[in-house]
Structure 1
Amino acid sequence: MFGWLPALALVALASSSMAQRDGWKRPIVLDRSGGFPIGGKIIHDPSSTNLTLSCDHGYMEYFIPSRPRKTSLVMWHSSSTQVWQNRWDGGEGYKDLFLRRNYPVYLWDGPRVGRANWSCKPLNYTPNYQDQGNFVAWNFGPSYKNWWNDSQFPTKDDEAWQRATSSRYVEFDTAENVQLQSDAAAVAADSGKLGDNIVYLTNSAGGLRAMMTATKAKENNIKGIVTYESIGYVFPDNANVTAGSGGFGPFVVPLEDFKKLAKVTAIQFVWGDHRPESFESIQQSRYAAQLVNKYGGNAKVLMLGTDAGLKGSSHIPFADMDNAKVAGQLDRFLERNGLDDYVDDDDDEGEWEWVRKSQRKG
């Protein structure tokens, strides 16, 4: 009765394959999008208790697919949310790459930065001439405009470089701000507004903040942390690590709080290319992973250059020209750890519906 199904399946799969080769992409179909502030506090004007200021909250922008997966990807910037939105050349960034995969995507601005810049304390801004420093810090080459030969940046495009360095926020990288941002993020994680399966995707100093968030959150909603070139780590108070005094750590927390990281389903510390093993933050990531695993966790270090063969990856590899390949590594991480299920648990039907739609378009 159903002898025609295999033949139809082959035709459908061939059609979808041709559509992809011809540049047709799975459409992004959203159920809803929006944003909200969360966390923070209300302070009173010392000269008049009738005057208040709502401040030190975070801001979350969200995009929910029409048929979402269970896992929410919270993209936590160090430089700005822009790095999640586009590739260096303006092409498709992680936000859209994973919306096409039907993951709910959240873009997070922590307290005092970006769209959450109402501070409860006075802030002083002094121009810091750091374009040249950005180039080296973001691992585009050993010195300004001296690109790595295999760099995954559009090195001939001066406008692309200008966009990249102009997109950066003022981060306020202080120990106080790490605590403040992770406090607000923990409120967001526990609120249920991000769902109960949260994976943080972080970059640079965002990794430290996400780790601190996991030690503070009271619910069991945080299922994963993927840090891209995290600068700063969290250690337990029995690890013989001296806490740093600045915003890049290391941070030392009570052992029982650190053990919350071991309850996260999976943690991955990802590094770009052209980083020597002696690089202090790489050594810290390996030690942090070792300690998480010691207490029953699941933490690993991934070197994109040597482990994944992705040469020329920068400090922000998810914006590099081969970001689709970097996204493939994240796909495998999510699949391997059971974080890729759909809300309705009907994956196959969803895939076939996409094939049918591609046929109708053809």
Structure 2
Amino acid sequence: MWAFFAILLLHVLSHGVHSEDARPQSPIMLAKSGGFEIGGKTVSSPASPNRTLSCDHGYMEYFIPWRPRKTSLVMWHSSSSQVWQNRWDGGEGYKDMFLRRNYPVYLWDGPRVGRANWPCVPMNYTPYYGDRLNFISWNFGPSYMNWWPDVQFPTQDNYAWQQATSARYVEIDTTENVELHSDAASIAADSGKIGDNIVYLTNSAGGLRAQMTAVKANNTNIKGIVAYESIGYVFPDNVNITARRGGFGPYVVPLEQFKKLAKLSAIQFVWGDHRDESWDYVRQSRLAAKLINQYGGNATVLKLRDDAGLKGNTHIPFADLGNAKVGALLDTFLEENGLDEYAYDSK
């Protein structure tokens, strides 16, 4: 009988659990978890004013450690909250990684996507058969199923690829959507419901939305932004930048609003591999950081391969197989900028 259970245990360990996940880890101790809707509006039916719809709100899921740090980490991707929850191979993602470090973690779905998908206007969905586009957009390789040689993805695991490409929401990359997301997020930031020290961890087009949130927020709760491969930037109206319509910017705001970005403790724009300095969004990140610093801010651009020696990073490096090393860089960022203190003394 014992031999049978021993064989069964070996089978589970070899097929159901990743080797590093099998090692004992410190437990995640939560004081509470939950979620709430915020922002949006209520509209009446044209046919009957007594019939209403609550819509265009955002949704926030939260996890508060038993002994929390002061800084709340708001994890924001414009088309998938799943990428924060697991590594590509199913291993530990940023959500649990930073809960173990006792940071309150918030997963944000902006208006009209994910768990906040009640729009106030008619919406149409047309399948666009985007798996091939996902592969290239998320920088797994130069063409579909042509992986970069050192990519930090389990390239032989078809299930991992299926999970990755299935994780996306229907993405809405419009000017209206950026405004809706940043409106709702600024209300959430000002409300105090996500803490007094907020750092946005963003990916892709979420970076532009978080910058716009910081520009719109009235209070000083937002302390930082770490934008992984931000597609879109905010600029002041006193430089020669032409704003573009759509969900990827650039956006141009009055100088006094732009200066709010310079009041944050720190901003970091992070790039993975195969992002040449001539690429438009890399150039925009350099210029945005320069302008933020010109007004007394603390903005930097970090290339994971060139500056930190980490290789094989995709568009979503916090979900790559090397995400523990990427997370260690975030640890350093938080520590160096005084954002790692605990909410109360352990004594």
TM-score category of the 2 structures, normalised to the smaller one: over 0.9
Residues in 2 aligned to 1:23 and 1:154: alpha-carbon distance in whole angstroms: 20
Residues 34-53 of structure 1 mapped to structure 2, 5 A cutoff? 34-53=34-53
Give CA-to-partner distance per residue, 1:31-67, whole Å, 9 cap, x none. Answer: 0000000000000111111111000000000000000
Residues 184-333 of structure 1 mapped to structure 2, 5 A cutoff? 184-333=184-333
Letter in 1 for 2:166: S
Tell me if structure 1 keeps the 8 A contact 2:78–2:110.
no
1:298 shift after superposition: 0.3
SS in 1 for 2:51: strand
Q: Which residue does 1:75 correspond to in 2? A: 75
Residues in 2 aligned to 1:238 and 1:22: alpha-carbon distance in whole angstroms: 55
1:21 shift after superposition: 12
Percent identity at matched positions?
A: 73
Q: Which residue does 1:181 correspond to in 2? A: 181
Give CA-to-partner distance per residue, 1:47-105, whole Å, 9 cap, x none. Answer: 11111100000000000000000000000012301000000000100000000000000
Residues in 2 aligned to 1:310 and 1:236: alpha-carbon distance in whole angstroms: 33
Letter in 1 for 2:93: G
Residues in 1 aligned to 2:256 and 2:53: alpha-carbon distance in whole angstroms: 35
Residues in 2 aligned to 1:96 and 1:245: alpha-carbon distance in whole angstroms: 36
Q: Which residue does 2:91 correspond to in 1? A: 91
Residues in 1 aligned to 2:48 and 2:130: alpha-carbon distance in whole angstroms: 41
Q: Which residue does 1:150 correspond to in 2? A: 150
Give CA-to-partner distance per residue, 1:255-308, whole Å, 9 cap, x none. Answer: 000000000100000000111111110000000000000000000000001101
Unaligned runs of 5+ in 2: 1-19
Letter in 1 for 2:54: S
Residues in 1 aligned to 2:158 and 2:21: alpha-carbon distance in whole angstroms: 30
1:22 shift after superposition: 8.7
Describe the shift of the 1:21–1:89 C-alpha distance in structure 2 as closer, same or farther (beyond 3 A).
closer
Query: 2:66 matched to 1:66?
Result: yes
SS in 2 for 1:301: strand
SS in 2 for 1:49: coil
Residues in 1 aligned to 2:28 and 2:302: alpha-carbon distance in whole angstroms: 29
Tell me if structure 2 keeps the 8 A contact 1:274–1:305.
no
SS in 1 for 2:218: coil
Residues in 1 aligned to 2:312 and 2:125: alpha-carbon distance in whole angstroms: 34
SS in 2 for 1:200: strand
Q: Which residue does 1:172 correspond to in 2? A: 172
| TM-score relative to the length of structure 1 | 0.89
| TM-score relative to the length of structure 2 | 0.93
What is the root-mean-square deviation of aligned Cα atoms in Å?
A: 1.2
Stretches (4+) displaced over 4 A: none
Tell me if structure 2 keeps the 8 A contact 1:274–1:312.
no
Q: How many equivalent pairs are there?
A: 328
1:23 shift after superposition: 2.3
SS in 2 for 1:208: helix
Tell me if structure 2 keeps the 8 A contact 1:76–1:200.
yes
Q: Which residue does 2:6 correspond to in 1? A: none
Give CA-to-partner distance per residue, 1:314-338, whole Å, 9 cap, x none. Answer: 0000000010000000000000000
Letter in 1 for 2:216: K
Tell me if structure 1 keeps the 8 A contact 2:78–2:109.
no
Letter in 1 for 2:270: V
Unaligned runs of 5+ in 1: 1-19, 350-362
